[in-house]
Amino acid sequence: MKRLMLGAASAVLLTGAAHADQLTLQLKWVTQAQFAGYYVAQEKGFYEEEGLEVTILPGGPDIAPTQVLAGGGADVIVEWMPAALAAREKGLPLVNIAQPFKSSGMMLTCLKESGITDPATDFAGKTLGVWFSGNEYPFLSWMSHLGLSTEGGTEGVTVLKQGFNVDPLLQKQAACISTMTYNEYGQVLDAGLAPEDLVTFKYEDQGVATLEDGLYVLESTLEDSEKVTDLVRFVRASMKGWRYVEENPEEAAEIVLDNDETGAQTLDHQVRMAQEIAALTEGSDGTLDEADYQRTVDTLLAGGSDPVISAAPEGAFTHLITDRAFD
């Protein structure tokens, strides 16, 4: 009898697994604690509890999440709002369905010896490093706010197309480089520079912060009632994962490492990243704050003759998913 009961239980589990709804998430970058909430939700069974089977696709320098989504390679992507709104204006109907990151982690890290103490007066004539592939939009918008050309010269700045490392600062090819609070800034310190050797300017402190690491889908996905239900469950489980990361950064880092097939990450770095990421997700239940959205739009529109977007977007976000997930 006991064997029959176990067999019946196994059959139920197999049936449940067979009927799990499948969803694919494309990350913005490689496997790291920047995306710990999703890996934790998968590892801890939060997606399974919602009846979902989630495939998490890591990103990389040659992977554009918006293109993956447009090509049908994912159901939902992690993307920065400036890149998403720019893509939307160009014809890709992206919609923000949730915003786990409440704050921006982007900043410029400068060598103190460069003499830069105030962006308004000291950036002119300097070489500044920035990532491209969509990550340049917040930087270009900030330069426009400062009235600085990005074509070089003494009245503008020379833009160095920065690789995904901190070498330009270490080799003094640039006075400042782009860093994230949770990643490259730590790499600079690990390379031997001390905080007192550096000057940092956080986008949040400069009033030009834009939203990062939101969840986006195509408009057509929201017209499918079954997909909407899947997304509701996905967002609810993902935010449960993010709360777990905030409370357990060390364990979250270990889970990330278990999913890193490259073997390039280290535990210390991922723990530090998870701790810094917790400061960015703190206060967010996944619902996009319309004031944060409007600040991002206003920042991107204020680009003088070359704004990141030329008109205020319409239909670029929805509360449909988060309202249903957390009602």
* pLDDT of 15 above 50: no
The band of 305, judged by pLDDT with boundaries at 50, 70 and 90, is low
pLDDT at 156: 93
pLDDT at 16: 42
Give the amino acid at 259: N
pLDDT at 8: 40
pLDDT at 19: 60
pLDDT in tens, 80-104: 999 999 999 999 999 999 999 999 9
Global pTM value:
0.90
pLDDT at 20: 76
pLDDT at 93: 97
Q: Which domain holds residue 153?
A: 106-206
When mean pLDDT is compared across 41-50, 83-92, 138-147, 272-281, the lowest value belongs to 138-147
227 and 84, same domain (yes or no): yes
Alpha-carbon gap, residue 278 to 241, rounded angstroms: 12
65-94 average pLDDT score = 96
pLDDT at 303: 65
Q: How many domains does the chain have?
A: 2
221 and 85, same domain (yes or no): yes
- Of the candidates 154, 182, 206, which is a domain's last residue? 206
Given a contact cutoff of 8 angstroms between Cβ atoms, the answer to whether 112 and 196 are in contact is yes
273 and 216, same domain (yes or no): yes
Which residue, 296, 130, 142, is CA-closest to 210? 296
| SS3 annotation, 124-148 | CCCEEEECCCCCHHHHHHHHHHHCC
Given a contact cutoff of 8 angstroms between Cβ atoms, the answer to whether 263 and 32 are in contact is no
215 and 308, same domain (yes or no): yes
Burial group, residue 118, by CB count within 10 angstroms (0-12, 13-18, 19+) = exposed
Q: State the CATH number of the domain containing residue 159.
A: 3.40.190.10
- Of the candidates 190, 206, 222, which is a domain's last residue? 206
